[in-house]
């Protein structure tokens, strides 16, 4: 069956097409009785609005572009769930694209989303990204952009992320309170704020507990190349283990599971030989071998708040100057760090 049109409703109810259109969009210019009449007829006859025609008329597509590193990640999936819920509740569709940690692919994603007419873009930048000119150019045009999870000081836009300093401090302080003083730190090599903040939280916890910071116990591993991640992690771990650390704090979800695998493969007993705490939102953390102590981030809330912020910007609401919202983390202690 073909869809009925505004003109069909107009003829059936003997009112103008413009009145039908305003009634269907809940315009204050139309009386309640007329709205009820139009909506009832539209529902009875399965009226479906022509989204393309409406978007051309009002200059909005009611779609949001979302750029993430990879969908194959429990933390990212949880953020996307929050984003999808808020957008669906607000009548917006989302278009999800993956950078795969590639700067060039990230730029291609942004260009394609912008060309497709999305009303705004949410982005969690790739680890390779150091030049943000592709986003600055859109920002200067007044195009709505919100950064989430991974943020940078290069862009003066609204940002939503976890309190990375707090999370890293919690993890390191927990290891210190468990009696460890020789604590290694492994993080991703990146210019993004997340890397620096988690490193800072690690150092702050050492200083607060009068534990000496040792540069040789810190490694930054290239995780932006999917084909060489295992090799890069193995090299970093080999160098760290030469220092005979008592414990390791890993700063990303990916590194947490990679390091646990490496230690198991090299026959280290955890936590007897070495303890481990990582950042991870994986639901598998409690059933790994051994169960992994983690800093859990409020992933769904990050997605929800970032999505709501972008939708408010798209609607033209005055939400004040750009600000960074930091959401609290939670330390979940399991066997990997408890003797």
H helix or E strand, kind and range, residue 94: strand 93-98
pTM: 0.81
| Listed range (48-62, 84-98, 260-274) with the worst mean pLDDT | 48-62
* 281-338 confidence digits (pLDDT tens): 888 889 889 999 999 999 999 999 999 999 999 989 889 999 999 999 999 999 999 8
With 0-12 CB in 10 A as exposed, 13-18 as middle and 19+ as buried, what is 317? exposed
What is 108-132 written as a DSSP string? HHHHHHHHTT-SEEEE---TT----
Q: 105 or 62, which is more confident?
A: 105
Radius of gyration (C-alpha) of the chain in whole angstroms: 25
What pLDDT shows up at residue 1?
Answer: 40
Task: Evaluate whether 276 touches 292 at the Cβ level (below 8 Å).
Answer: yes
C-alpha count within 13 angstroms, C-beta hemisphere, residue 102: 13
Tens of pLDDT, residues 43-59: 888 887 665 455 545 55
């Amino acid at each position: 069956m073909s869809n009925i049109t505004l003109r069909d409703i107009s003829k059936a109810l003997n009112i103008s097409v413009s009145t039908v259109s305003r009634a269907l969009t809940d315009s204050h210019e139309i009386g309640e009785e007329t709205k009820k009449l139009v909506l009832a007829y539209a529902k009875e006859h399965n009226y479906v609005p022509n989204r393309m025609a409406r978007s051309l008329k009002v200059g909005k597509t009611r779609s949001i572009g979302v750029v993430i590193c990879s969908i194959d990640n429990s933390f990212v999936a949880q953020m996307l769930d929050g984003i999808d819920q808020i957008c669906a509740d607000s009548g917006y569709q989302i278009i999800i694209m993956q950078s795969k940690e590639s700067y060039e692919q990230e730029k291609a994603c942004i260009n394609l989303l912008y060309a497709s007419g999305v009303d705004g873009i949410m982005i969690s930048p790739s680890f390779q990204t150091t030049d943000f000119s592709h986003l600055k150019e859109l920002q200067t045009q007044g195009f709505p952009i919100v950064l989430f999870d991974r943020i940078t000081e290069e862009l003066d836009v609204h940002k939503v992320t976890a309190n990375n300093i707090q999370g890293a401090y919690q993890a390191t302080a927990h290891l210190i309170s468990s009696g460890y003083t020789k604590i290694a730190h492994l993080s991703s090599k990146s210019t993004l704020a997340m890397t620096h903040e988690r490193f800072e939280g690690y150092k702050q916890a050492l200083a607060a507990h009068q534990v000496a910071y040792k540069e040789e116990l810190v490694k930054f591993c290239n995780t932006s190349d999917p084909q060489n991640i295992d090799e890069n992690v193995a090299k970093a771990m080999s160098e760290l283990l030469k220092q005979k650390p008592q414990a390791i704090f890993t700063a990303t979800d990916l590194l947490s599971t990679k390091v646990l695998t490496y230690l198991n493969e090299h026959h280290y007993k955890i936590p007897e030989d070495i303890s481990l705490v990582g950042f991870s939102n994986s639901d598998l953390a409690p059933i790994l071998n051994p169960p992994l102590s983690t800093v859990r981030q409020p992933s769904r809330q990050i997605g929800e708040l970032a999505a709501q912020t972008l939708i408010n910007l798209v609607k033209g609401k005055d939400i004040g100057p750009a600000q960074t919202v930091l959401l609290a983390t939670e330390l979940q202690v399991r066997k990997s760090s408890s003797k």
